[in-house]
Structure 1
Amino acid sequence: MKSSTSEALWGYFFILPQAIGLIGFAMVPLILAFALSLMQWDGFGARTFVGLDNFIGQFKDPDFNIAVVNTLYYTVLTVPTGIILSMLVAVGLNKVKGKVLYRLFYFMPNITMSVAVAVVFMWLLNGDFGLINLYLRDWFGIQGPQWLTDTRFVIPAISLLSVWVGLGGSMVLFLAGLQGISATYYEAAEIDGANKWQQLRHITIPLLSPTTFFVTIISIISSFQVFDQSFVMTGGGPAKASYTMVFHIYDSAFVDFTFGKSTAAAVILFVIILVLTLIQMRISKRWVHYEG
């Protein structure tokens, strides 16, 4: 009994730093954010309790509604594309020679500063002299659009950047998932005469579903938090076509100095992400298959 108590105390001792960090840098700010969302505050004067007025005001705010629509549009474009491409790249690199070097190249954008990447893509996506439009014109005879100044193409352009940046991180996760699939499944499939496509469809994709589930959750969370790209590349424009929810939170807090309204928008974003995550966890039982 004394030994087990001592082990438990040592366990609490070792998790204490992490617990302090979690409480101090996550739980306390979260509680304060919920409290501030019920108040009116400009960052300098006294706080005034206004109840749910900030939340009601957000739903009536045209800018907030635009931000929600743009964020959803961005998520729909980015998440499925990123998951499919990263899975295909992972499958392609799983048993190729020099795969360590290839993994390095694919993962490098994931650790590159987002502002630096956005500046480079501003040049690539320039409608007049950008390389992407240059290649479209010279190779395919297509006149490329004004990617960053046309309201129809600005979200797809930002999505293109995000897919490129996030491809390496998701690819590494899928590679880890592929390593956990037993080779006996593929050997049995080859004996039965299954080709590579049939193996991919009936073995790889179903057994990668736990990894796909995890990547989907973190990708959706990340997509709802998009800010750097639109802030650097377009400033939320043109005509608020790239005005996202986090951009709205930033704009309300540090441009309009309405911290109560900004925090209310952040709380709404938190609830949206939480609800979507819970829905995914609920329906995951229908399509996530665990080996064994």
Structure 2
Amino acid sequence: MNTMERDLPLKTSAQSPVHIQNKTRTLSVQKWIETLLGYVFLSPSLLLFAVFLFYPLLQTFYLSVHETDPRGRIASYVGFDNFVAIFTSERFYKSLEVTGLFTLLTVPTGIALALLLAALTHNHLKGMRIFQFIFSLPVVLSVGTSAVIWMMLFHPSVGMLNYLLSCVGIAPVAWLTDPRWALLSVSMMTIWMNLGFNYIVLLSGLQGVPDDIYDSAKIDGSGPVRTFVQIIFPLLSPTVFFVTIVSIIGAFQSFGQIHILTRGGPVNSTDVLVYSLYQDAFINFRFGTGSAQALVLFALILILTIVQFKVFERNVHYQ
């Protein structure tokens, strides 16, 4: 009996490495099968990304170092001459200036207005849902629809804005034909167009703040303004940071409203980078220069996004 008891542990210990090796092999096979299955499920999305994102991106790199004929066919290899032409062109720096001014006019104002509306409607009063629905409406309208609506409002003779100005004795304004007002007019329309998205995101962030914080601040004697500035806004900083990044990227990519309202004019006062790119590529048929401008615009947006994450994210409180 004692001999059997001595032999059993030896037999078990002799078999355990084999069992462990088989178990490891089985887990490895299962892991490969799960990985392969995951790629099978991802294959439709990867195919769409390859066709509509990766291939156009590679084609843009290819075209940026070539000259093309009016049909878009490759005419000659020019290396970095397209990029040199961009950075030595006064029009590029003018478009960059207009884009920066357009971003400064639309992003801070749009976020501040959406935050104000979200703060005013973030309560449980009766009928507040109606105001939340109204302030969210612009998000359902396309750029073209929004631009046509505001084109009617900006009309010099029958537009509502000039009619309201005439009611208070102010002379009509050439909203879209005066270089002093054109960019401001397009910025007003853009702020309204993006208001719905900004409002929904910021309102969701406010609704994520626990009610206990409001109650504790009220018990401590903190007023509404102080509570919002010193307590609520730091808790809302991740949402504001997200909206800021998305808004800046959207401002640098704005095209539809400018194309419909002003077509880059008057006197290139609304000629942003994207519209300049569009004119070079699809009006003048300089696809090489247009592709180079697209890559420059991509690099600018990427650098701005990285700078925001490096500089401003340290002031974001995630907890």
Aligned to 2:300: 272
TM-score (norm 2): 0.86
Match of 2:234 among 206, 226, 230: 206
Letter in 2 for 1:19: L
Cα gap change, 1:120/1:285 in structure 2, threshold over 3 Å: closer, same or farther?
A: closer
Aligned length: 290
**Unmatched runs of 5 consecutive residues or more in structure 2:** 1-26
Q: 2:47 aligns with which of 17, 20, 24?
A: 20
Match runs of 1:222-261 below 5 Å: 222-261=250-289
Q: Which residue of 2 aligns with 1:64?
A: 92
Deviates more, 1:233-242 or 1:4-13: 4-13
Report the counterpart of residue 168 of structure 1 in structure 2: 196
Amino acid at match of 1:136: L
Q: How does 1:94-173 map to 2 (within 5 A)?
A: 94-95=122-123, 96-138=125-167, 140-173=168-201
Could you list the runs of 4 or more consecutive aligned residues of structure 1 that deviate by over 6 angstroms after TM superposition? none
List runs of 5+ in structure 1 lacking aligned partners: none
For residue 46 of structure 1, report the CA deviation from its aligned partner. 3.1
Q: In structure 1, what is the equivalent of residue 19 of structure 2?
A: none
Judge which range, 127-136 or 190-199, deviates more. 127-136
**Deviation at 1:181?**
1.4
* Distance in 2 between residues matched to 1:44 and 1:198, nearest whole Å: 60
Sequence identity of aligned pairs in percent? 37
Structure 1 range deviating more: 40-49 or 213-222: 40-49
Task: Pick the aligned partner of 2:221 from 170, 193, 218.
Answer: 193
What's the secondary structure of 2:239's corresponding residue? helix
1:7 aligns with one of 25, 34, 53 = 34
Residues 128 and 146, structure 1, Cα contact 8 Å, conserved in 2: no
1:10-49 aligned within 5 A: 10-42=37-69, 43-49=71-77
Cα pair 2:83 2:289 within 8 Å, conserved: yes
Q: Distance in 2 between matches of 1:286 and 1:44?
A: 46
Is the Cα contact below 8 Å between 2:241 and 2:313 reproduced in 1?
no
**Bigger CA radius of gyration:** 2
What's the TM-score once normalised by structure 1's chain length? 0.93
Task: Give the distance between the partners of 2:139 and 2:83, measured in 1 at CA.
Answer: 35
Shift of 1:183: 1.9
- Of residues 84, 90, 106, the one that matches 1:78 is 106
Give the deviation of 1:5 after TM superposition.
4.1
Letter in 1 for 2:158: F
Cα RMSD (Å): 1.7
